[in-house]
């Protein structure tokens, strides 16, 4: 496979040049700059920068508001991953049954693939608005009073999780359905003949065979909760109430573009970057090479 089919010393470089230049200029350079900026501090409304060593990192380490931001990110990520993947797998298994019209059901389930976090945010903001939102009307019928989804810290976190799970549903189902359809049914039949019950068949055969896909989706859902969630948070809660939904990427954005604390924001970028590197290393260790479907 590695045998060359064409000769030429500089021709391959010519072919790779556009990609390599763009990756160097717009990915490597800003990442290196981010590391550099994280050791500096901006003063006098951005007019002066001075070297600050590890001060930005030390500040973050001692800042309980930042600890809260990390905690919120982890809570939302965990919930989105577990609830989202659980629901998606259950729906995919059901839609994978051999029944009439299975194609139609599949079609009707995967369309949210293309949903954007902002659109999901806008629709959920309206549905859960106090006063005229339809969800509040329903809750007032059931519980007897309205719930303050956007004003109560716990409810706001739940709202963000629900909107995120909904937004990711199409994506997860597309990949789970594809994996289920490629599943070797002989193993399932053999397990059935061996007297395995439905639960055993699911857990020991289906779930085990699906684990590479589950792992891939785990990574993409974590990536969503770290980064893509930004648009949804910005529209739905703006990090509130009382910073309850202030995830790391949103906190970083505000520090950088609202408070102009460039150095502090860059230090947060570096921390996020290290988290991504950590997750990626785990991905490579456990699943070998997998294509990333983001950008």
Partner 1 sequence: MRRKTRDEILTHIALIIIVLAVMAPVLFALAKSTQTRAEVYHFPPKLGFGSAGLFNYKVAWTQYDLGLYMKNTLIVAGIVMFFKTLFSMLAGLGLVYYDFPLKEWVFYFILFTLMMPTEIMIVALFNEVSNMAKALGLENSYAVLTVPFLASATGVFLFRQHFSSIPSELADAARVDGAGPVRFLWSILVPISWNAIAALALIQFIYMWNQYIWPLVIIRENEMQLIQVGLRSLTNQQDTTNWGLVMAAAILAMVPPMLIFLLLQEQFTKGFALGQEK
Query: Which residues in the 266-295 window bind partner 1 by CB under 8 A?
Result: 266, 269, 272-273, 276-277, 280, 289, 291-295
Dihedral sign for Cα atoms in the order 177, 183, 185, 190: negative
Element (H, E) at 74: helix 64-95
* Residues 68, 199: Cα–Cα separation, whole Å: 39
The verdict on 259 binding partner 1 (CB under 8 A) reads no
Contact track, partner 1, 206-235, x by CB under 8 A: -------x---------x--xxx-xx--xx
244 touches partner 1 (CB under 8 A): no
Choose the binding region for partner 1 from 3-11, 67-75, 152-160, 199-207 (rule: CB under 8 A). Answer: 3-11
> Does the footprint of partner 1 cover residue 30 (CB under 8 A)?
yes
- The answer to the question of residue 127 lying near partner 1 (CB under 8 A) is yes
**Taking a C-beta distance cutoff of 8 angstroms, is the pair 113, 217 a contact?**
no
**Taking Cα atoms as reference points, which of 183, 194, 208, 226 lies closest to residue 74?**
226
Which uninterrupted H or E stretch holds 259? none
Helix (H, G, I), strand (E, B) or coil at 203: helix
For residue 64, state whether it binds partner 1 (rule: CB under 8 A). Answer: no
Nearer to partner 1, 64 or 223 (CB): 223
Identify residues 31-50 at the interface with partner 1 (CB under 8 A): 31, 33-34, 37
DSSP tag of 184: -
Does 249 bind partner 1 (CB under 8 A)? Our answer is yes
- For the CB of residue 67, give the shortest distance to partner 1 in the complex, in Å: 20
Residues 167-206 that bind partner 1 (CB under 8 A): 169, 174-175, 178-179, 181-182
Using DSSP's 3-state secondary structure scheme, residue 17 falls into helix
Task: Check binding of 253 to partner 1 (CB under 8 A).
Answer: yes
Work out whether 159 is an interface residue with partner 1 (CB under 8 A).
Answer: no
Which neighbouring-strand residues pair with 49?
A: 42
User: Any residues with CB less than 8 A from the CB of 106 and at least 6 apart, and which?
Assistant: 95, 177
CA-nearest of 76, 116, 66, 80 to 254 is 66
Give the nearer residue to partner 1 in terms of CB position, either 122 or 155.
Answer: 122
């Amino acid at each position: 496979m590695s045998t060359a089919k064409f000769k030429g010393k500089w021709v391959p470089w010519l072919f790779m040049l556009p990609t390599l230049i763009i990756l160097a200029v717009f990915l490597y350079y800003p990442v290196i700059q981010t590391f550099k900026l994280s050791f500096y501090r901006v003063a006098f409304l951005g007019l002066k920068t001075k070297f600050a060593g590890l001060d930005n990192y030390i500040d973050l380490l001692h800042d309980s508001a930042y600890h809260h931001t990390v905690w919120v990110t982890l809570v939302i990520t965990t919930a989105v991953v577990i609830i989202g993947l659980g629901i998606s797998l259950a729906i995919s298994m059901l839609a994978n049954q051999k029944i009439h019209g299975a194609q139609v059901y599949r079609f009707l389930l995967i369309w949210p693939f293309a949903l954007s976090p902002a659109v999901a945010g806008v629709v959920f903001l309206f549905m859960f608005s106090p006063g005229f939102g339809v969800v509040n009307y329903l809750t007032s019928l059931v519980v007897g009073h309205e719930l303050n989804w956007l004003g109560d810290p716990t409810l706001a976190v739940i709202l963000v999780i629900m909107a995120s799970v909904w937004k990711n549903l199409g994506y997860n189902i597309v990949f789970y359905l594809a994996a289920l359809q490629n599943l070797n049914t002989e193993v399932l039949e053999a397990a059935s003949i061996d007297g395995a019950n439905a639960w055993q068949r699911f857990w020991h055969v289906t779930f085990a065979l699906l684990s590479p896909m589950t792992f891939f989706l785990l990574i993409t859902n974590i990536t969503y909760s770290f980064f893509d969630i930004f648009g949804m948070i910005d529209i739905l809660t703006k990090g509130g109430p009382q910073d309850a939904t202030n995830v790391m990427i949103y906190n970083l954005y505000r520090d950088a573009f609202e408070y102009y604390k460039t150095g502090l924001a860059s230090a947060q970028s570096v921390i996020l970057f290290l988290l991504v590197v950590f997750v990626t290393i785990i991905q490579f260790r456990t699943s070998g090479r997998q294509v990333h479907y983001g950008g």
